[in-house]
Amino acid sequence: MTDNNCSYCNFDEYDVIAKNDFGVVLPEANSLSKGHCVIIPLRHVSSFFEVTDKERKSLMSLLEQARNELNILHHPTGFHIGFNDGTVFGESTTHLHIHIIPRYENQSLVLDERWGFNQ
């Protein structure tokens, strides 16, 4: 199931970093650090708790794949991983997405309204 008004349902194949049968890795348009990506299920679903077991395993596999690629490309010190589930933070989309944000030594991470923080 897709939602015609959802940017995650209507992604450009050109932007795909990795993909499997149930999910895709895309670059984050409003990046908080070099390499910031999102992992999304291909099916339009708003909650991690609504995905099937196969989708969940698929998303975790893509998360690990994204981490491995980011380690090779950007050599971050670590990662901040966040699940945006539902519409709690006024998201522009209700499509479940998992942020993987590379962290670099001596670089502070400034979280914004996507994480419930006002700047």
* Residue 6 belongs to some domain of the structure: no
Mind spelling out the 3-state secondary structure of 41-54?
Answer: ECCCCCCHHHCCHH
Per the domain annotation, does 117 fall within a domain? no
Query: Looking at the 3D structure of the chain, how many domains does it have?
Result: 1
- Report the alpha-carbon distance of residue 89 to residue 72 in Å, rounded: 32
Question: Considering the domain boundaries, does residue 60 fall inside one?
Answer: yes
Helices (H), 28-103: 53-74
Nearest to 8 by CA among 35, 32, 37: 37
Residues in the chain: 119
Q: Is residue 1 part of a domain?
A: no
DSSP conformation letters of 11-25: --GGG-SEE-SSEEE
| Domain span at 76 | 13-107
CB atoms within 10 A of CB 13: 7
Residue 114 lies in a domain: no
Q: For residue 51, give the CATH number of its domain.
A: 3.30.428.10
pTM: 0.84
Does residue 72 lie in a domain region?
yes
pLDDT digits (tens, 9 = 90+) for 26-41: 999 888 899 999 999 9
What are the pLDDT digits (tens) for 13-67? 999 999 999 999 999 988 889 999 999 999 999 899 999 999 999 999 999 999 9
Residue type, 115: W
